Structure 1
Amino acid sequence: MAVSLKMVVHSFCMVFLVMTFLIELGRGQNHCEEVQSCGRQPIRFPFRLKDRQSVSCGYPGFDLSCTQKGQTVIELPIPATFFVRKIDYKSQQIELYDPENCLLRKLLKDHNISASPFDFADSSNDYTLFNCSAIERNVGNGWIPCLSGPNYQVYALQSYFSIEQWPLVGCTKLFNRTGIPYDTYNKHHDNTLLLSWSEPHCGQCEADGTKCRFKNNVTRSETQCFRPKTKEDKSKKIVAAGASLGAFFLVVLVLITYRAYRSSKQEKENQLRIERFLEDYKALKPSRYSYSDIKRITNQFKDKLGQGAYGTVYKGKLTADFFVAVKILNNSKGNGEEFINEVGTMGRIHHVNVVRLVGFCADGFRRALIYEFLPNGSLQKYISLPDSDSFLGWKRLQDIALSIAKGIEYLHQGCDQRILHFDIKPHNVLLDNNFTPKISDFGLAKLCAKDQSTVSMTTARGTMGYIAPEVFSRNFGSVSYKSDIYSFGMLLLEMVGGRKNTDVTADNTSEIYYPEWIYNLLEEGEDLRIHIEEEKDAKISKKLAIVGLWCIQWHPVDRPSMKVVVQMLEGGDKLIMPPNPFGSTGSTKPRPARRMNLELEAIEEVE
């Protein structure tokens, strides 16, 4: 049972997305958990560890970081580093210490503790600092050892003390400082700074045995108490996630199996559909061949004639003197519609200007069509270079154009159902030994009733450069048999000009749309100057050009039917010029150059 690569890739992508979602969901639930890998003190809300926890895990201003030695550092609006010794979440106090053992020196620097969410837990005082050289070190408690040197001592005196109470002879006042925690200067002090915070108020949560966090993760101001999940809860969550993922994998597996079954069933239905069609088609007499027959007929696909969007064509031989062209259809194309289209359509056609279907192959997934072999190939190679030795002459080109028109008229009116080709172009017109044209390649054809004025289409079909405007946009009208007439008009103009390229000279450096250039030449009464040797050749080329311009009118209602086209080609040379189909492109018309060498835009296959 075959499963397409696209299906498998799609399913694995779904699995990957779900797994990623579950992982991210787990991260979203666990990324704010308590951290105990930095120092001895657990870190949790309102604090957060930078670079390990997101901003939403901590209250603003409660950022901590971790040194390489595992020490916890707090960020304060003081140009100094303080390490965390202890955090009391219940009383909402944090105990800091100075690693350099000179706490007062750091507090004497410019600081604004009020800019942080913390306050000094101890009462603060104003101090005056003195530099003394003659005083004994053991005098009083204000001596600051870490600020003193071998020949001088620094004292910090509370400002409300009278200077007479201290022997400050030989001392120099340094400066005053306000808001310094009491006893920070004391030499017996344990170098500890105690800070407290009032917001967020999480102490009650801690006292109740719960933890604190932002309320519903919505606001950054309101907090709430919550009970953290235990290891047992996490285990249950993991089991639930595993069960969900396992169920998802099971569903994906069932879906893949079902789609594989559906794909296989659809292919079998397609083959059955083709077999039923071929059973009904027996009365039309084309022979059916096996794939081994096809290999024998083509001599193991030795002589390749060409390749298109729907398959590759090889030359083959049914008998010693009867050659055929065998088109091997691409297996990847659709549900057999192209095969049924071609066989079913050509079974209804019996016309001298339509290529004859000799046989077919429908051997499992392998499908092929066998046509009569036309040795002169496609019309394309005879009109691409009108100035070369392969030019057929204007009389023969006129006969070919008229024969193609009759073939299309037969498709539109001569069968029980109207057949719309949708891919009329020189490449699909083949020439036999006598250069009689035969329309081929009906893979894009559609059948409709003769009284049906329009057909429905979901996507554009045909070859760029020959597709009628309404096939691309319904603003130009509905799709109908007039779409084939537009393609035939482009074919006629291509026969007239031979898909020439612009002659880039100093006087002419811009390209002009080729049909518009033809129209301008005719409108101004100038000859086409394209391989014209005699007056009658000029008349033929002018007739083909005028008919082509009638056929490429933008709106389908302005185009003639193929019956009228045949009459125009068979009639005299006094044809009326059609309305200018390029009038909406602008008021300024490009002047026809004397040696224009223009080409239709590059063509490519589209479905």
Structure 2
Amino acid sequence: MKNNSLNGLLPDSLGNLVDLRILVLSHNKFSGEVPDLRGLTNLQVLELGGNSLGPEFPRIPHRIISIVLRENKFTNGLPQELHSFYQLQKLDIALNRFVGPFPTSILSLPSITHLDINGNRFTGLLSEDLACNPGFQFVDLSANLLTGKLPECLVSSKARNVVYDGNCLTTNDGNEIKNQKPISFCRTEALAVGIVPRTHKTSKWSKVALALGITGGILLIGVAFLILWRVHGKKGSKKPPARVIEDNVSSSYSSKLLSDARYVTRVMKLGTLGIPAYHAFSLEELEEATNGFNTSTFLGELGSHGQLYRGRLKDGSYVAIQCLKMKRNHSTQTFTRHIELISKLRHQHLVSALGHCFEFYLDDSSVSRLFLVFEYIPNGTLRDWISGRDGGETLSWSRRIAAAIGIVKGIQFLHTGILPRVFSGSLKITDVLLDQSFVAKISCYNLPFLAENIEKDGVQSYFKSFKEPNRVKTRHPEKVDVYDFGVILLEIISGRPICTQKEVECLKEEFQSRMIADDGSMREMVDPIVRDRCSDQSLMTMMEVCIKCLVDDPGERPSVEDMLWNLQFAAQVQDAWNSSHGSPVSSSQPAIRQ
């Protein structure tokens, strides 16, 4: 029905044409919002160009192949789910009024060959290492507010046309590109298009500028600092009311990462872990989620730089919101690649980041605070369920082994499943959280990317750990995490809270002497709550792994793979023992302390 003079609103009944495959209404005079078309599961082609439709991006099925919305009045940002349109071949949204960060994950959609975003107000920082679909035939990024470096995949693309004039891009060596505007122009314009309307009095939280990042990341360079229950800082600003800058963080793995990483599975490649996509949060969203950062939502503080709040998003889900106070003179570009790494730390046994936003001063555009939003883990720490609850519930022996296996799997992913590799160096039992299914999740990776950018005295409190021999001098950084895991095993087995290095050494020696004696006395070292509910073989295996992890020479400690194999063996023999002894305690349920 294209090229007519049809006008008015599109009828909602369009959403009922379930067998419709092609809907072409281009070059008419339609206005208003596009009806919800998600029920058209057979829809492959949607062409609505040359009308006055908007402002919301249409709600359409994920299996669509071609979307043409050019020359309309769409004004808001692109939806998060667009990065999952794996069959999308053509996306033409040129000459609209789209604002906000450009989701670079679109560039690497597996089927995309034609992309045109010309003439909008997209912001964001591009990187030369972004991944692109090698089948691209046409790309037009021109006349937006994009900054950063032109992606190498576009420079070397075989596409017939790659256009990017009218942005603020530079070459990979930092030189200016022809037909580009000065970066100051894009920054100023980004502030202009990013103003968030307010209906209430500006609060003290809004007196500094906020820079937002969006879904995902491509290049995993630099090492990041992520501490779920440890980082958040407050700093009142004397600057003018904030304006919003929306910054870009991409959401897919680079081809080099996928080829080099040893354990990146298909699930990780597709990012389908059942966790919401990483995206930007506005300060208004965080204020609303925490009722203005009300004290009733405050969860904890560490030192003078870390605060944590619990928030509830509009969809009803709970999140943990933290903030890190930064030194001045650091722009959002300083942190972009590190945020990309944070966005990729997705694993069943890691507490995952859901998004972030920057806050910065308008006078020099330096970052004042970095907000990080994480999934909220409701069941507290592993210590709470082993040695921290007097007269309360504790974990069964089987569940303790399962928690230990989960920790090792999380460590294995950090060491080998992602590039660059991540070594914690200060893992503690209080850094391991349990979700509603009692699955262990590591919440503190101690990634030091922000360590250089916060006050020194604040950093020190974040990096406290057991100082085992050769921690500083070791050439085996992965073995530092192995040692820390050994300390966690001591507490898992004994049920005693361990807080000093002296306690570690004493308990380690006692374990060794009981095992050497081979007179059955090693069982006396086990938490009395589960002492009679563990098999000899599983107990012996757990204690052996523990002692080997605590060896003074880092080179003599076991590999993560060896630890995992032995712990899984301990779980198997314990399951067999439970079956043969008719254990009343399910391996999937916590035991009750009597």
- TM > 0.5 between the two? no
Q: What's the TM-score once normalised by structure 1's chain length?
A: 0.41
Q: What's the TM-score once normalised by structure 2's chain length?
A: 0.42
